[in-house]
Amino acid sequence: MSDDKKNAPKYYVKEAHHSAVGDYAQVRNYFVPQPGSEAEPGLAELARLFEEVNQRLAALEEADREMLKTPVQQTAAAAADIQKGDESREKQSFLMRRLKTLYAMSNDIGEVVITTLASPAAGVALTLQKIARKAQAELAIGE
């Protein structure tokens, strides 16, 4: 492997908007693996999942899209943090609330996120699977 690839960042922020430091800075909360890097399969699956969610959001009307934008970004960030190893009770509780909020605001988008995270085939962290399964049970998804 060349030195350039070894020293290159593993992830980069895609589509940074108003990314100045300070109040009102907005950056999309998902990471896309850089070409040529060996990304963790769970993070790659999360990136794929939230790309699908972003496509579903783009198909919505402007008002609905704006309403769901922040909860989706917060869910993506919390899931990525847990996947990277932050399994604190606060982070898990926050993700559970975000999943329930997404489902309440948009059943189809919430169900896509929850069922994908609950699937063992997704390759996401066991903690994420447990949180998603608990949300499935509480929301009676797939019954």
Domain count, the chain: 1
Residue 79 lies in a domain: yes
Q: Rg of the Cα trace of the chain?
A: 16
Distance CA 103, CA 111 (A): 6
Per-residue pLDDT band for 8 (boundaries 50, 70, 90) equals: low
Q: Is residue 50 part of a domain?
A: yes
Inside any domain, residue 49: yes
- Distance, CA of 43 to CA of 55 (rounded, Å): 18
Residue 17 in domain: no
Domain that holds residue 134: 41-139
Domain membership of residue 34 (yes or no) is no
What pTM does this model have? 0.67
87-94's contacts with Cβ under 8 Å and 24+ in sequence apart are: 87/125, 87/127, 92/127, 92/131
Q: Strand pairing partners for 16?
A: 27
Whether residue 73 lies inside any domain: the answer is yes
Residue 6 domain-assigned (yes or no): no
Whether residue 2 is predicted with pLDDT greater than 50 in this model: the reply is: yes
Report whether 107 contacts 68 (CB < 8 A): no
In this predicted model, what pLDDT tens digit does every residue of 10-67 receive, in sequence order?
544 455 444 444 444 444 544 444 444 455 777 888 888 888 888 888 888 999 989 9
Question: Has residue 27 been placed in a domain?
Answer: no
